[in-house]
Homo-oligomer: A and B are copies of this chain.
Amino acid sequence: MVNDATRALMLVDHVGVDLWRAFRAFEEAMFSALVEAGYADVTLADSDVLAFVGPDGTRSVELAKNRRISKQAAQEQVKRLVARGYLDLAPDPMDRRAKRVTLTKKGEALMRDLVAIKRGLHDSVGTEFGEAGFAELRVNLERVRRALDNRRGGEMPGDRDEEDQ
């Protein structure tokens, strides 16, 4: 049976939840702004993918690395965004194995709006903390990440590769 002691332990009060709540708030704010801007068919995952597409195109494997998902998952998401007209897939002239994902006009419009939205959210938080406090917060978040990663080697699904940032 589950006694009162066990039940108390189920209560959720730890940094993991703090992090989740803060991240979720960002995600939700971004998504609701996206809907307001008329992009109701764009999911959170879509916007995550789009976020990593650069002006000269990006390889899907880069998208996968950045999002820490398998390249197959990234490929699938790219496929759906291509189908909906936000992305274009073209061979990479520099590397015949590779393809570059580029934004269509529709995708560019979305990206412009998305970047504006993200910058707005970023600045909202920045204003709340002030310049010094904000910089410190961001350093601390990185510190949290490192502390947790160092517990046990940062393993990634799918292809193994060295991490860059």
- State in angstroms the CA–CA spacing of A147 and B26 once bound together: 9
- Interface-central residue, A2, A12, A27, A149, by most chain B CB under 10 Å: A2
Query: Which label, helix, strand, loop or mixed, suits the secondary structure of the A interface?
Result: helix
A11 CB contacts on chain B under 8 angstroms: 54
A142 touches B29 (CB 8 A): no
Contact, CB under 8 Å: B68 / A141: no
Chain A interface size range: 35 or more
Told that A2-B55, A10-B66, A128-B144 touch, could you supply 18 new A-B pairs with CB distance under 8 A?
A2-B62, A2-B103, A5-B56, A6-B54, A8-B54, A9-B54, A9-B56, A9-B58, A9-B111, A9-B112, A11-B54, A16-B26, A16-B30, A19-B19, A21-B141, A25-B154, A125-B144, A133-B140
